[in-house]
Structure 1
């Protein structure tokens, strides 16, 4: 390919450092320094430099598939917390910088010709970056959602045959289903004999939540383990009594410590102090 047919290649190569400096400064101002306060100037420069490298490679070898490099670049941008609006505006700012510097002494006709060239050479790269950014963002959000679902009902082995499920936050129907699934899978996986459901971090226990807990306890019993409900604060106990909720089929303790002591007794163990 004849590189001279690309009006941007030589210009960016010759003015790369100036473009980098001005572009990163514009980006920091555009974002009101929100990003620059948590990442270093060097990280900023590295990202901008990586984009210019992709751009120049596209200019030199337009037939080469740069998808993998654009995906890697876009993933880094997502990890840095840059919004779609911010990256789109930043790419636009770079385009303006290049255009303004290249057309200082150009006529209107020459400027129009350069606009057409910009659409041909730079716009496709920018479009691919934005497309891959959106894809990377969707993948990241999807993975975060899965992680949050797992964290919403974690099952933690604390001793042989004893596991704890600490619950924090409100429990709705979807989460109750996740709790049930994790409990049953965890009992089998960890060969648990006793499972402790810790509701210390659950702000409200109403009839629906109690119903889900009773169901979970019964399900655990059916797979051959015992279930203890721990972390019942005085205000939660009062609510349970006022609502007439029957937890007589569930073993309850007011703290995780007492629950673990009971679990150890159920598995023929106990906590003892070491002698001198």
Structure 2
């Protein structure tokens, strides 16, 4: 069922100041702008978006957003995840679909967010949507790269920090079984989510399952509750910013974009 003519889309950018690995991350300077501004400006280029708002728990981030003319909403400092912060935003901003776009993704492509929004609008049975792209078997070994395996219809079967699927016949290079054929196709999860309002409204009340606590992946709470997550594949994208090393890499890549 297509609901493209009726659904109101809100893009929410959670931007927490107190990152453990990179304090003040949303305000990290990239090409003369705070990182959160790059994310905000790219979100504005998504044509379906009815509203774009930054959700933060720190007045310094709010002041920076207001300085570049953005819309910002102050939220509680007690939220354990960006999704929990989104549930608070939902009480203030009316929409049918909410896209959670992390404030540490300054290289996000508007076309990818547009694909996610279009996928949600094209099928009202899709409860939650997210993105993925192919990676090498070598990158799949990195626990910071979250992997996903899919059903034939594109719904997620599982997310993990482990390299899934496990390739039993893999050789020492991690790529083939010795015959020159790839033994597994690895998909990296891109942490952008789209939620229907009614699904997001139930999130805070869901119990934390063992798999979420073990993997430290909040999307597993949704899957354990029996909710379906549709995953849309995109071309490989630039990295997010988690550490000072990531920030240096993103600064270099974005400088090259302008060269």
TM-score, normalising length: structure 2: 0.24
Q: Which has more helix, going by share of residues?
A: 1
Q: Which has more strand, going by share of residues?
A: 2
Rg comparison, structure with higher value? 1
TM-score, normalising length: structure 1: 0.23
